[in-house]
Amino acid sequence: MSNVRAAHLSRRGILAAGGALGLGVALAACGDDDAKSGSSDKGTTAARSGPWTFKDDRGTTVKLAKAPADIVAFVGVAAALYDYGVSVKGVFGPTRTKAGKADVQAGDMDISELTVLGNEWGQFNVEKYAALAPDVLITTMFDGAGTLWYVPDESKDKIAELAPSVGISAYDRQLTVPLQRVWALAESLGADMTAGKVTDAKKRFEEASARLRAAARAHPGITVLAGSAAQDLFYVSGTDLSVDLEYFKALGVNFVEPSASVLKASGGWYESLSWENVDKYRADIIMMDDRTATIQPADITQATWKKLPAVKAGQVIARSPEPIFSYDKCVAMVENLAQAIETAKKVS
C-alpha cells in the first residue's frame, strides 16, 4: 500500500492493522470473497430452550424467541465459543493465512467448515451473510463508542438490518472482564460450563496468573516492553487500554512504556518510532505482536533491532494483542510471560 493510501486509514483501520498497538501497516485491500470456504450447519451444540436474552457491553439487550443456532462471529470470538462447545456458521476477520492455514486468531477451529465472509480489514460479504440467515452477529469492541470490530462502516447499516448484534468490549479493562463476559455468553448459548475441560482451563488460568504475580514480585527489576513491527516503524504500546497489558500490570509486571503525553497523539495506544530510534526504550523482555498483519521477530532485518539488549539475549516472546477470550487460550500467554520473567537476565 502506498504511503498516501496508508495516510487515509481510519483510526479503526490502523487499529486493525496492528491491533491495540495501532500499527500503521495497512492490510491488503483486495477481496477474499472467492476464497474457498465450506458451510457448517452445526450451530450451537446445546442451545437452551425458551426465550433468549443477552445484554452486551453497549448496554444493548438482544431478545430472541430461542437461543440463536445460526451464529456469525468475529473469528476470535468464534474461536473462544468453540472452546466452550459452541459452533458458528460464519466468521469474519483474520481466519486463514496466505498459505491457506488457520490464522492464529482462529484458535482450534477447523476453518474448512466455516463460511468466511471476509478475511481482511474492510472485507465483509453482505450477500453471503444474508444467505446464512443469521440469528445473531457477535464481535468485540476496541473503543468506548461501541464500534463493532471488523464490521465495515460502509456496510454496517445493511448488516444491522439482517440480524441483531452482540458486542463484547475489549477496551480499557483487564483481561478477566472479557473472559467473564464470553463465559456468560457461552453459557447463555447452552454451553456446559461445568465440563471438566472448561473448569480445568479456568483453574489453569488462575494458577498461571498466580505464577505471574509471584514472578513479578520476585523479579521487580525485570522490565518488559510491548512492541509491534511494521516495515518502516516500530510501535511501543502503552498499557492503559489493552486488556492483556492492563491485567499483567495489575499483577505487578514492570512495563517500560511511553508517557501519557506521548501516547496522547494516538488516543492513548502507542508511540511510533523509526527503526533508527528503536532503542529509545530499553527493556529486559520484549513482547512482540504475533498476528499475521505484523512483521515477526525472526523476519526483522534492521540492525538497530538486532542490537537491542533483549534481542541479543534472546529475551523476546510473543504477545496476542487480540486474545481469544477463552480461559484455555489465555493460559499460555500468562504462562509465557511468567516464565520469561522467571528466567530473564537483567540486560537493560
pLDDT in tens, 85-143: 999 999 999 999 999 999 999 999 999 999 999 999 999 999 999 999 999 999 999 99
Residue 30 pLDDT greater than 90, yes or no:
no
* Total-model pTM: 0.88
Residue 44 pLDDT greater than 80, yes or no:
no
What pLDDT sits at residue 243? 97
Average pLDDT of the segment spanning 332-340:
98
What pLDDT sits at residue 50? 85
What pLDDT sits at residue 48? 58
Average pLDDT of the segment spanning 169-188:
98
217 membership: H or E segment, kind and range: helix 196-218
Q: Higher pLDDT residue, 225 or 17?
A: 225
What pLDDT sits at residue 15? 52
Split at pLDDT 50, 70, 90, the class of 21 is very low
DSSP 3-state of 339: helix
- Grid coordinates representing 232 are 518502516
Strand intervals (E) in 155-266: 165-169, 223-229, 233-237, 254-255
Q: pLDDT tens, 157-167?
A: 999 999 999 99
Per-residue CA distances from 293 to 25, 34, 105, 200, 241 (Å): 8, 20, 11, 32, 20
Residue of 60, 51, 43 lying closest to 133 (CA atoms): 43
Residue 46 pLDDT greater than 50, yes or no:
no
Q: What is the mean pLDDT of the chain?
A: 89
Per-residue CA distances from 153 to 10, 25, 124, 149 (Å): 10, 20, 10, 10
Q: Higher pLDDT residue, 169 or 11?
A: 169
Residue listed under C-alpha cell 431478545: 63
Q: What is the DSSP letter of 299?
A: G
Residue 7 pLDDT greater than 60, yes or no:
no
Express as a percent the part of the chain with pLDDT over 70: 86
Among the residue ranges 10-24, 142-156, 287-301, 320-334, the one predicted with the least confidence is: 10-24
Residue 39 pLDDT greater than 60, yes or no:
no
Which positions ≥6 away from 123 have C-beta within 8 Å?
31, 32, 33, 92, 117, 152
Residue 225 β-bridge partners: 286
Q: What is the CA radius of gyration of the chain?
A: 20
What pLDDT sits at residue 25? 34
Q: Higher pLDDT residue, 152 or 5?
A: 152
